[in-house]
Amino acid sequence: MLKIENNVLYIENKSTMDLVQEYGTPLYVYSEKKIIEKINEIKKAFTLKYPNTHAAYACKAFCTPYICQLLEREGFWLDVVSGGELYTALRSKFPRERIEFNGNNKSKEELVMALENNIGRIVVDNVAELYALNKLCKELEQKTEILFRITPGVMSDTHDFITTGKKDSKFGIPLDNDIILPAIQYAIQSEYLKFLGFHFHVGSQLQNIDAHLSALEVVLNLIQVTRERFNYEINDFNMGGGFGIRYTDEDFPLGLSQFVDPIMERLINFCNKNSLRIPHVSMEPGRFLVGEAGVQLYRVGNIKIIPGVRKYVSVDGGMTDNIRPGLYGAKYDAIVANKVSENRTELVSVCGKCCESTDILIKELKCPVIEAGDVLAVLSTGAYGYSMANNYNKLPIPAVVVVNDYDSKLIVKRQSYEQMSINEIVEF
């Protein structure tokens, strides 16, 4: 998706110099070809390879009408986690029956919105939600299909802040018998809820399959227990997302098949051995679909050299448009987009313009001699950049552009000062 021509970085066939000229900086840019490549990878490794499966895009990674519509066309489902994401999906005319709703504290209003719009399924995250949802369905005289998100009690090999499967987690129903079993029984017996099966999400940016496989054992056991205790066969299993991508040379992501095949093999063998029906299987990748397709373009501003210590290179965005380095210590690689072929002779720290010492986008970047006015392209920024953007220091949220071959199109306008302040009342 990236190439070099005359010392300049191109995204597909579009020069980054033209992009910044046309749309300004900071700028989120996506390569459509790359997103489609990832979509096809998921189809090849999962949905086309195994019957009775579907893939839902966890739209928290990048939630805009553009991506909803692209994935609609490609036959994907959508995983939403809030009324706002659901609103974006509905506004994008995403088919309701292909929407699933996750989240540990869905409000009554959000659940009503989901029910009234007849979305595909709700992933129930805790027992309180189970009862509340049942009550709501009764009030609205409506039925809905549900899965249970369970807390499988497994550790995953990723940053502690983005691991979600361990027992001490705010997500999911704990596996203690006196909690999970009555919940299963309640769901099976409910007139309003159709209990489909189990869901887990064990963490993000995973580069090995251990956590998924351990969590799978937990689900297999639950499937069996559900049949033995309640004479009920599970129809559905969702393995969550979390499939890692390449941010820097330090990442060695697995191919998707390396996640999917062992999971499917174990599941199919288990079901065959125990004369169980093989459930419908789904996944919920977010980052995998959009992460590597995104590039952020910044204009270099002030440069500060502390002799014998460091060279700070300030850019015109920062933790407001990419909070991941500050929040998780996430690492990124970057290219000086107008000096791509020049030797990387300098070691610099790239910092944003926010009034925070932690506003460092890249602690150590090897690059050519970098000067004010250069354009910096930070790579693999397509997931959780725009979607976690904020207005700290009253910095407007950048525009988002999609490149397709020689063309580019604006899919999110740059926020103006006026738009940023629209809800703020001026009178004292």
Spatial CA neighbour of 120 closest among 56, 50, 49, 48: 56
Active site annotation includes 351: no
- Residue 245 in contact with residue 291, Cβ under 8 Å? yes
CA distance 61 to 110: 20
Among 242, 279, 382, 398, binds ligand LLP (CB under 6 A): 242
First to last CA, the chain: 52
CA distance 197 to 204: 22
Binding segment for ligand LLP among 7-15, 128-136, 181-189, 197-205 (CB under 6 A)? Answer: 197-205
Binding segment for ligand LLP among 14-22, 247-255, 284-292, 311-319 (CB under 6 A)? Answer: 284-292
* Cβ at position 37, least distance to ligand LLP in Å: 16
- Residue 53 in contact with residue 47, Cβ under 8 Å? yes
* Cβ at position 58, least distance to ligand LLP in Å: 4
240 near ligand LLP, rule: CB under 6 A: yes
Spatial CA neighbour of 395 closest among 366, 377, 422, 416: 416
# residues contacting ligand LLP (CB under 6 A): 21
241 near ligand LLP, rule: CB under 6 A: yes
156 near ligand LLP, rule: CB under 6 A: no
Pick the catalytic residue from 59, 63, 355, 367. 355
Instruction: Give pairs for 130-137: CB < 8 Å, separation 24+.
Output: 130/183, 130/186, 130/187, 130/193, 131/186, 132/108, 133/193, 134/186, 134/190, 134/192, 134/193, 136/108, 136/111, 136/112, 137/190, 137/192, 137/193
Binding segment for ligand LLP among 43-51, 65-73, 283-291, 360-368 (CB under 6 A)? Answer: 283-291
Binding segment for ligand LLP among 234-242, 298-306, 308-316, 404-412 (CB under 6 A)? Answer: 234-242
Binding-residue pattern over the window 368 to 387 for ligand LLP, x denoting contact by CB under 6 A: ---------------xx---
Catalytic residues: 355
Binding site for ligand LLP (CB under 6 A): 58, 61, 79, 102, 162, 164, 201, 204-205, 240-243, 284-288, 324, 383-384
